[in-house]
Amino acid sequence: MRELSSRPPANWRSRPFVYRLEGSRCVVCGHFHPYKRLVCRRCGSKRLDQDKLPSTGRLVNYTVVTQAQQGFENNTPHIVGWVEMDDGTQLIGHITDCEPEELKPGTVLEPVVRRIRVDGEAKLIVYGVKFKPVV
């Protein structure tokens, strides 16, 4: 008989990052980890504190996706951007609430929770963080 794990499923463990951009930051080297960790990947320190990414960042570059992967067919075209948060952490994510012509490198963006996709036959709505320009 298979032993049940005492750890919650991965989708529950990732909720703080997926919805609030919370994770662990190393006290020694300052590296941000998107999920709770016991040891820093960069320097090996065990001194990590819970932290949240800044509320704004800047667009480094972006592309417009016109041919979507499976499961995202209804979301084309969409913008995917490389965002550098104010603390230097870099993320890649969808950009929403604007047209590609409105974007240029250096545009200030903020994270917002939006619908990512509708999953499977049960039509479960999956939410996550996207970025939108600060007006």
**What is the side-by-side order of every strand in the sheet holding 22-26?**
32-33, 22-26, 48-52
How far out from the chain centre does Cα 115 lie?
13
Helix, strand or coil for residue 131? strand
Segment 42-51 shows an average pLDDT of 94
The more confidently predicted of residues 6 and 73 is: 73
Q: What is the pLDDT of residue 70?
A: 78
The terminus-to-terminus CA distance of the chain in angstroms comes to 57
pLDDT score of 91? 92
pTM over 0.75: yes
Q: Which of 1-15, 16-30, 43-57 is predicted least confidently?
A: 1-15
Q: How confident is the model at residue 125 (pLDDT cuts 50, 70, 90)?
A: confident
Q: 124 versus 102: which is more confidently predicted? A: 102
